[in-house]
């Protein structure tokens, strides 16, 4: 069992991630020390703020919840070798769609459907928005990186425009600084697990998504074919894999999961659509997915790690007197080194594949 190739790969990946985290923490400690603060005290405060008690843990789980969804969204397409970066736009489209479904559709529905339906609508909206670059990639060979990045801006601006023009909270009016919809009706909002910490049942959905993703990636035909496509597209095509279908389905699944990010946020903590509600969840998902090596369990660990950094950073600032900018630099340094060691093999793989394609065509 210890000589199993899969086990060796897992242990190797774990060792590389551990070394990267240790190196980042060491460099961060040097930076903290130059500011005249004991690094051990600083990191102790960070750890206490992230996981020191039940309240801190719940806040960390709340921060990690949307990151789990967005990390899985990125992994779904990156595993297949398609660099769809439109998750942020899908977050906004899914967020508004869920709120509109809650306001205009859910009140007439029975029981749990009042909560489930808006979430499903948010998922569907994110998937439909992602279908645009997916079709462009599969049918016209348009680079999904460029098209999806541009569609992010279109999605955010269109959604805010729609709210300002048609769905703005009448108490605020169209002259408000940001787009804010009316609140969702009672009984349609995603319930809280711990309201003071902002933790909703979205966290339970995130856990379910991790299990489902793990099964789909490892135990289904689609998971196998998408993984093979990401590793070697020519081999996959020669083996009968329909590359166009993999491209469309992987990007659409990514958009659906990103739409769920928006739906759980607007239907949970906010209870309405608020312009700018996303803290760049779509782009942060790239970091989370790479830190987790595109593995669902790794993504869960990476989301907890990032959530702990976010929450613990505030405690570190208060306890040690470090300026907020330095706290952000330390967090960024940790994320940079951990992400870099995961990103390099992926880029090398993509570069090698493109080099082979150029050689063959040349």
Are 151 and 129 in contact by the 8 Å Cβ rule? The answer is: yes
Mean pLDDT across the stretch 338-356? 58
Q: Give residue 358's pLDDT.
A: 47
pLDDT value at residue 349: 54
User: Is 95 or 328 the better-scoring residue by pLDDT?
Assistant: 95
The answer to whether the beta carbons of residues 168 and 176 sit under 8 Å apart is: yes
Average pLDDT over residues 170-196: 87
| pLDDT: which is higher, 91 or 348 | 91
Q: Evaluate whether residue 77 is within a structural domain.
A: yes
Confidence band of 74 (pLDDT split at 50, 70, 90): very high
pLDDT given at position 334: 73
Given pLDDT bands bounded at 50, 70 and 90, which one contains residue 176?
confident
In a domain, 235, yes or no: yes
- pLDDT given for residue 285 in this prediction: 94
Domain assignment of residue 70, yes or no? yes
Which of 92-106, 142-156, 168-182, 347-361 bottoms out in mean pLDDT, i.e. has the lowest?
A: 347-361
Across the range 26-47, mean pLDDT stands at: 88
Q: How confident is the model at residue 327 (pLDDT cuts 50, 70, 90)?
A: confident
Tell me the residue range of the domain where 163 lies.
Answer: 66-294
Q: Is pLDDT larger for residue 353 or for residue 43?
A: 43
Q: What is the mean pLDDT of residues 103-110?
A: 92
In a domain, 112, yes or no: yes
Q: How many residues does the chain have?
A: 362
Nearest CA among 91, 69, 75 for reference residue 292: 75
Range 168-197 average pLDDT: 88
Q: Is residue 179 part of a domain?
A: yes
Going by C-beta distance under 8 Å and a sequence separation of 6 or more, which residues neighbour residue 225? 236, 241, 246
Is 193 inside any structural domain? Answer: yes
Which pLDDT band holds residue 31 (cuts at 50, 70, 90)? Answer: confident
- 251 found inside a domain: yes
Per-residue confidence band for 348, with pLDDT thresholds at 50, 70 and 90? low
Question: What's residue 218's pLDDT?
Answer: 92
Tally of structural domains, the chain: 1
Euclidean distance between CA atoms 341 and 217, whole angstroms: 23
Average pLDDT rounded to a whole number, residues 219-230: 94
Q: Are 79 and 226 in contact (CB under 8 A)?
A: yes
pLDDT band at residue 347 using 50, 70 and 90 as cut-offs: low
**pTM, two decimal places:** 0.89
Distance CA(163)–CA(18), nearest Å, equals 45
**Predicted confidence (pLDDT) at residue 187 exceeds the cutoff of 50:** yes
- Residue 105: inside a domain: yes
């Amino acid at each position: 069992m210890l000589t199993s190739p899969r086990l060796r790969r897992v242990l190797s990946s774990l060792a590389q991630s551990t070394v990267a985290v240790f190196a980042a923490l060491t460099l961060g400690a040097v930076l903290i020390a130059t500011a005249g603060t004991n690094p051990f005290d600083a990191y102790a405060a960070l750890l206490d703020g992230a996981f020191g008690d039940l309240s801190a843990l719940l806040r960390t789980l709340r921060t990690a919840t949307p990151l789990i969804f967005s990390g899985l969204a990125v992994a779904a397409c990156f595993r297949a070798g398609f660099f769809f970066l439109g998750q942020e736009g899908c977050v906004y489209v899914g967020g508004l769609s869920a709120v509109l479904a809650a306001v205009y559709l859910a009140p007439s529905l029975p029981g749990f459907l009042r909560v489930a339906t808006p979430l499903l609508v948010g998922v569907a909206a994110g998937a439909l928005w992602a279908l645009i670059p997916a079709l462009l990639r599969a049918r016209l060979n348009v680079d999904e990186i460029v098209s999806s990045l541009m569609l992010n801006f279109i999605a955010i601006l269109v959604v805010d425009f729609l709210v300002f023009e048609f769905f703005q909270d009448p108490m605020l009016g169209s002259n408000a600084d940001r787009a804010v919809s009316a609140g969702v009706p009672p009984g349609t909002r995603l319930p809280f697990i711990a309201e003071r910490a902002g933790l909703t049942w979205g966290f339970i959905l995130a856990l379910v998504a991790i299990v489902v993703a793990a099964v789909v990636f490892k135990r289904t035909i689609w998971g196998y074919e998408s993984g093979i496509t990401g590793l070697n597209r020519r081999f996959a095509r020669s083996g009968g894999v329909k590359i166009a279908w993999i491209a469309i389905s992987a990007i659409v699944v990514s958009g659906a999961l990103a739409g769920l990010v928006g739906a759980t946020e607007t239907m949970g903590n906010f209870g309405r659509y608020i312009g700018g509600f996303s803290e760049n969840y779509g782009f942060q998902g790239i970091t989370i997915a790479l830190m987790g090596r595109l593995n669902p369990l790794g993504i869960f660990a990476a989301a907890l790690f990032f959530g702990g950094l976010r929450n613990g950073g505030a405690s570190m600032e208060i306890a040690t007197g470090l300026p907020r900018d330095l706290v952000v630099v330390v967090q960024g340094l940790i994320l940079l080194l951990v992400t870099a060691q995961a990103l390099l093999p992926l880029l090398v793989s993509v570069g090698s594949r493109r080099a082979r394609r150029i050689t063959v065509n040349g």
